[in-house]
Amino acid sequence: MLMRNEKGFTLVELIVVIAILGILAATALPRFINETTNARIASVNGMSGALSSSVGVVQSAYYAAGGTGTSASMADGTTVTVGAGTGIPANTAAGIGNALSSLNGWSVAYASPVTFQPTIGGSATCEATYNTGPPVVIAVVTSTC
């Protein structure tokens, strides 16, 4: 009597595994697409928080140095252009741009207001804005972000 000792999967087993992987991929893919939108929204909300914190830190440095002039010196040596008497960072690269330590991944349009959009997927429905008068930071996010 001859015994075969073959190892491996049958064609039916392989087809079943491929079918199961296809079903899993079809159900998981929409969730990953939704998470991309959620990540972008969280990023814009994080930028809004960073803007608010930066304004507070710059104003603190401005008042700690006497509250005069049109600039504030930060601990790392960066000079931030501010409004005289208020210490609020200006709507410029030398103002709020210098107040933020990094703008990697963000497209910035310095105007009134300054807009910060994620480099990937940013639009008018997905941005953080900064304005000096009154100092307002707004996160504009929608489901199409």
> What confidence tens digit (pLDDT) does each residue in 18-56 have?
999 999 888 887 777 778 888 888 888 999 999 999 999
Using only the alpha carbons of the chain, give its radius of gyration. 26
Given this model, what pLDDT does residue 2 score?
62
Does residue 133 fall inside a structural domain?
yes
Q: Are 79 and 98 in contact (CB under 8 A)?
A: yes
Does residue 27 fall inside a structural domain?
yes
Q: How many domains does the chain have?
A: 1
Q: Are 38 and 143 in contact (CB under 8 A)?
A: no
Percent of the chain with pLDDT over 70: 95
Residues linked to residue 130 through DSSP beta bridges, in sequence order: 114, 137
Does residue 26 fall inside a structural domain?
yes
- Distance (Å, whole) CA 38 – CA 141: 10
Contacts of 57 (CB under 8 A, 6+ apart): 74, 99
Q: Are 145 and 121 in contact (CB under 8 A)?
A: yes
Q: Which domain holds residue 122?
A: 12-141
Given this model, what pLDDT does residue 37 score?
81
Among the ranges given (13-27, 78-92, 126-140), the one the predictor scored with the smallest mean pLDDT: 126-140
Does residue 4 fall inside a structural domain?
no
Give the containing element (helix H, strand E) for 45: helix 11-64
Given this model, what pLDDT does residue 135 score?
66
pLDDT at 122 over 80: no
Given this model, what pLDDT does residue 136 score?
78
